[in-house]
Amino acid sequence: MVTDRSSAGDPARTLALLWGGGGVPSGRRGPRQARTVPEIAAAAIGLADAEGVGAVTMRAVAQRLGLSPMALYTYVPGKAELLDLMLDTVYAAMPRRTPADGGWRARAAAVADDNAALYAAHPWVAEVATGRPPLGPGLMAKYEYELRALEGLGLGDVETDAALSFVLGFVQSCARAAADERAAEQESAMSDEQWWAGNADLLAKVFDPERFPTAARIGTAASEAHGAASSAAHAYAFGLARVLDGLAALDRAPDGRPSDGPSDGPTGGSGRASGA
């Protein structure tokens, strides 16, 4: 269950923090600040990368920085605002690629791959609910870039926003599936292939292939192809191509013909995107 949400703090303080207005206005004189807001964001992100977003508390971040928890509050109002700062910081630092061919399909695939790379580097980001996103400079730069990637698709403004949400929602779903794979491997100390091999005899005792012939045939083929019941990387590559095919169905060139039709790969050719 998602328990961490962006924009859960005080809006005025959050926006002041994200846009350079500082942390908590105190109205009183105090000791000279020994840390910067970017240093605090980096410490919190490092903690989340290593231990998950649940490990990020004001006390834990303060300890990483050699501060007292009360001192940290002079920079950041609280955990909710800190989470927005963390998100906006990783958004601002995202690598953004612009494919040489300039077609919308290649640009949209690049947007998907860039977000997949973000989740791979910072898995905790996929766990945060962002229905009310932190409207900081990092997010706005990301949103602007990603909307421009869909220019030329022939959609209206509302449809363009929905198309971007469609692409990003798919990537986030794949990122969560990949995180589940990693978590299962860590908890069991076995890869998926090892786990299935170790439990094959138990499954054979209860599973009747004559009763479930389609599941037996296709499940066997998939497990042989992936070395497990499923593959997050394969699901990402296959699904992204289908997502782009779906957007292509909305695309119309001035002469009324689709300007970029379905393909075997997400970029319009036979190339495969990297897994989430």
Give the integer Cα–Cα distance in Å for 96 and 45. Answer: 20
Strand partners, 5: 129
Topology at the third CATH level for domain 11-92: Arc Repressor Mutant, subunit A (1.10.10)
Give the integer Cα–Cα distance in Å for 57 and 271. Answer: 42
Model confidence at 188, pLDDT cuts 50, 70, 90, reads: confident
Ordered by start, the domain boundaries in the chain are: 11-92, 97-126+134-191+228-248
Q: Give me the pLDDT at residue 32, please.
A: 54
Architecture per CATH, domain 97-126+134-191+228-248, reads as: Orthogonal Bundle (1.10)
What φ, ψ does residue 5 adopt, rounded to 5°? -130, 140
Closest CA to 254 of 163, 152, 160: 152
Closest CA to 56 of 84, 30, 34, 35: 84
In angstroms, the Cα distances linking 95 to 80, 133, 137, 171, 268 are 26, 20, 15, 16, 22
- Asked if pLDDT for residue 262 goes beyond 80, the answer is no
Region of residue 67 (phi > 0: left; psi between -120 and 50: alpha; otherwise: beta): beta
Name the maximum alpha-carbon separation found in the chain.
79
User: Which percentage of the chain shows pLDDT scores above 70?
Assistant: 84
Q: Give me the pLDDT at residue 230, please.
A: 76
Q: Give me the pLDDT at residue 252, please.
A: 61
- Asked if pLDDT for residue 264 goes beyond 60, the answer is no
Same CATH topology for 11-92 and 97-126+134-191+228-248? Answer: no
- Asked if pLDDT for residue 149 goes beyond 90, the answer is yes
- Condensed to tens digits (0 to 9), the pLDDT of residues 104-143 reads 999 999 999 999 999 999 999 999 999 888 889 999 999 9
Q: Give me the pLDDT at residue 265, please.
A: 52
